Amino acid sequence: MNELQVVVDQKPGVIGFNFEEIRDELQARMDLYKNATFTDEYRVYAKNEVAALRKMKKAIDDKRKEVKNQYMIPYNDFEEKAKELMRIIDQPIGLISQQITEMEERRKAEKKTKIEALYNSLVGDLSGYLTLEKIYNARWENASMSMTAVKKELEEVLSSVRKAVSMLEAMTSDAVPEALRQYKEDLDLAGAINYVNQYEAQKAKIVEREAEKKRLEEEQKRRAEEERIRREERERIKEE
């Protein structure tokens, strides 16, 4: 589509008026009030002076508004016409943009279907640990992201999870099943290993306490037996 050029024939506006004349006269008049002091005797005069000054100020402001309104007439006319032209352009922009949005949504849906099929072909026995929703990256749907790149990222994630599961399964502990269950939930390998270590540390403390308890019980039995032997020896000596 050929680009349209907006050609505007605008002449710089000049508003002339006797600014310097009025300014100099006003300044001379206002200087008279700088050191003026009004007493009760001149109260009415003072009020009349304030009223006159306000009237003078209002007259200047009214003229400013009048000139501004006249000055803005051509601009307001141009602005309304420009807006009408933009409204005409907005109609096809909306129609075309809607179609572009729909095309993009279809493309993303098709890409997502391909990603799901790729995941299903790669996940194998890790489906219980790694659902697609858990690792899905919306960036994969970008047109700039090739399926080859998506496959590479998926394979890297799956490889990492497979190694983590193997590492946990290789640990010798009754806590491994629970650690694997936790890993399925959050894919936090460090957390799963820490759980096993804490379990084993707690188990070691229990074994240590049980061993100490057994040692004390055996010590008590030994002392009781020694005391029984000494008592029997004393009884035998008495009888002799």
- At residue 2 the predicted structure's pLDDT band, cuts being 50, 70 and 90, is low
pLDDT at 140: 95
| pLDDT of 34 above 80 | no
**pLDDT above 70 as % of the chain:** 97
Summary mean pLDDT of the chain: 87
The three-point CA angle 160-166-167 to 5° equals 90
**2 against 80, higher pLDDT:** 80
| pLDDT of 218 above 90 | no
> 149-164 pLDDT, tens per residue?
999 999 999 999 999 9
| pLDDT of 72 above 70 | yes
pLDDT at 45: 84
| pLDDT of 121 above 90 | yes
pLDDT average, residue stretch 200-216: 84
> Does residue 123 contact residue 157 with C-beta atoms inside 8 Å?
no
pLDDT average, residue stretch 173-184: 91
> 38-49 pLDDT, tens per residue?
778 878 888 888
pLDDT at 100: 94
| pLDDT of 79 above 80 | yes
| pLDDT of 1 above 70 | no
pLDDT at 203: 85
pLDDT at 80: 94
Residue in the block written with tokens 């602005």: 79
> Does residue 193 contact residue 179 with C-beta atoms inside 8 Å?
yes
**pLDDT above 90 as % of the chain:** 43
pLDDT average, residue stretch 4-19: 76
Q: Which amino acid is at 239?
A: E
pTM: 0.57
Four-residue CA torsion sign, 107, 112, 114, 115: positive
